[in-house]
Amino acid sequence: MNVFIVYAHPEPRSLNGALKDLAVETLTGLGHTVEVSDLYAMGWKAQADGADFLDRADPGRLSYARESGHAFAAGTQTPDVTAEQEKLLWSDAVILQFPLWWFSMPAILKGWVDRVYAYGFAYGVGQHEGERWGDRYGEGKLAGRRALLSVTMGGRAPHYSTRGVNGRLDDVLFPIQHGILFYPGMAVLPPHTVFQANHLPDDRWQEIAESWRARLRGLFDEAPIPYRRQNAGHYDTRQVLKPGLGTGEGGTRIHLLQPGEPSERPIGAQHQRADRHQ
Amino acid sequence: MNVFIVYAHPEPRSLNGALKDLAVETLTGLGHTVEVSDLYAMGWKAQADGADFLDRADPGRLSYARESGHAFAAGTQTPDVTAEQEKLLWSDAVILQFPLWWFSMPAILKGWVDRVYAYGFAYGVGQHEGERWGDRYGEGKLAGRRALLSVTMGGRAPHYSTRGVNGRLDDVLFPIQHGILFYPGMAVLPPHTVFQANHLPDDRWQEIAESWRARLRGLFDEAPIPYRRQNAGHYDTRQVLKPGLGTGEGGTRIHLLQPGEPSERPIGAQHQRADRHQ
């Protein structure tokens, strides 16, 4: 299988660098083909701006979404963006390797999302009218792929626990896991985490490495987070969860399928695996 | 009072640009002093890397947190970072004006946070041992200030409602409002929002402008979001919310004070207003 690692850390000798190297070694050893985008080494342009479009639909006033759609359709995106989109389409699984900075991605990785996730590629896909509001949340051009966050954190695990002061980890990561990975159709695995990453005694590395290898071995077998699909019958025409679903849960957890609930509708097969060859 | 606006949009003629201009005009008219950091116009460096430190503690291996602490203490931060920190310390209120891209800030603004929020300035402040884990979440160097997000979104309001498919807005913004604004001590007002911002008929502007002016008039009067303070008795020594608090709520809402709960302890006055002059 093809695995695409997007890696965002400025120091090759960092824990993040070591986890990225270990992933390449482990996945290659398992017979997979691995591609890495090392954003710092590539000098990735983080800020999204008018220079991202080689031929502007409206040179007078920049609407990023409009120009993104125009450039994606017309083939006038910058080559760095096109190359990343091709790696995403080539992949069977995507791993994002980064340190959690201020409860989100480093800016350089956010800029990868802002620029690579073009209109017509990651959003603005499919019909937006009547009962449908796009092929998103479980459908979209990246359907059929798996996605996994591998995140290091300076904080301690209890700070991110269900009642921890930072917010529980699945809430903190919801904008990324649900809003960036599941949105264009990927199946999202539970995150892989290393806490207290700034104070790592050498003897913790073996344990960290073994735990990461175990996750990598399960990359194509683990059950994804059971996020509800937008267009599978659980949301109404305003894209609001229907009554009777998600009862007994609050916050982001209402968007997870729960035992005993009515099944989701199957989504047309053309929105699944076939999409990746478009 | 002093108001600091951090503005992140690449197009001056955008809705975000208009909201920023209106804020300057309205706040100035109310007698406040306003400072704007227009990140795109400034060519703000988004990516956090080794070039941020003029004199490295360890030139061989970059730990961003360690070098940040060293540079902040030694006065060897880059001038662009120092200037933004001074604006924060000068301010009585901070407004972040940006479009919500992929359920978070544009990369250029995230890079402002990553770089300006130095170790010793926004984190790593105060005692980290025993019962205390730093002056954070309601305490810190930015205590005594108010903070307000002004956010535009392409999506529709129901998509961000309590049961909306995108996640409810206070969950989506929790990593920013709680994790970036409340963390270093600021009191956070409810966000100001414009939905469906990519499809604005001209006649919506008057309504949008009036609603924004009303929020700006209340900037120093509105009640902040009642986030619990970390060091005020509601969290235990692992920084986990104590039993019996936040009952009947789930997810991020357990971190809001609720009617009928035991009061928080007062926090020493030295952690409040006085801190801003350090």
For B155-192, the pLDDT digits (tens) are: 999 999 999 999 999 999 999 999 999 999 999 999 99
How many whole angstroms separate alpha carbon B228 and alpha carbon B235?
A: 9
The answer to whether B256 touches B226, Cβ cutoff 8 Å, is yes
Provide the chain B residues 165-184 that lie in CB contact (below 8 A) with chain A: 165-168, 171-172, 174-176, 178-180
Residue A156 in tokens: 């301690």
The answer to whether B48 touches A11, Cβ cutoff 8 Å, is no
User: Does any CB of chain A come closer than 8 Å to the CB of residue B63?
Assistant: yes
Maximum Cα interatomic distance, chain A, rounded to a whole number of Å: 58
Q: Given B10, B114, B249, which is nearest A50 (Cβ)?
A: B10
Task: Compute the CA torsion angle B166, B16, B10, B169 (nearest 10 deg).
Answer: -20
Does pTM top 0.90 for this prediction?
A: yes
How many whole angstroms separate alpha carbon B194 and alpha carbon B155?
A: 9
Domain boundaries, chain B: 2-224
- DSSP state letters, A46-108: -S--GGGBSS-S-TTS--HHHHHHHHHHHT-B-HHHHHHHHHHHH-SEEEEEEE-BTTB--HH
Provide the chain A residues 199-228 that lie in CB contact (below 8 A) with chain B: none
Q: The domain A2-223 belongs to what CATH superfamily?
A: Flavodoxin domain (3.40.50.360)
Q: What is the pLDDT of residue A197?
A: 93
Nearest partner of A41 among A69, A64, A20, A63, judged by Cα: A20
The answer to whether A178 touches A227, Cβ cutoff 8 Å, is yes
For B225-273, the pLDDT digits (tens) are: 999 999 999 999 999 999 999 988 889 999 999 999 998 988 754 444 4
The answer to whether A258 touches A249, Cβ cutoff 8 Å, is yes
User: Does any CB of chain A come closer than 8 Å to the CB of residue B128?
Assistant: no
- Count of A–B CB contacts within 8 Å? 224
Chain B hits for A107, CB-CB cut-off 8 Å, are 46-48, 107-108, 110-111, 113-114
User: Does any CB of chain B come closer than 8 Å to the CB of residue A111?
Assistant: yes
Whether the ipTM is more than 0.90: the answer is: yes
Contact A240 B163 (CB under 8 A): yes
For B132-143, the pLDDT digits (tens) are: 889 999 999 999
Q: The domain B2-224 belongs to what CATH superfamily?
A: Flavodoxin domain (3.40.50.360)
Chain A hits for B179, CB-CB cut-off 8 Å, are 102-104, 166-167, 172
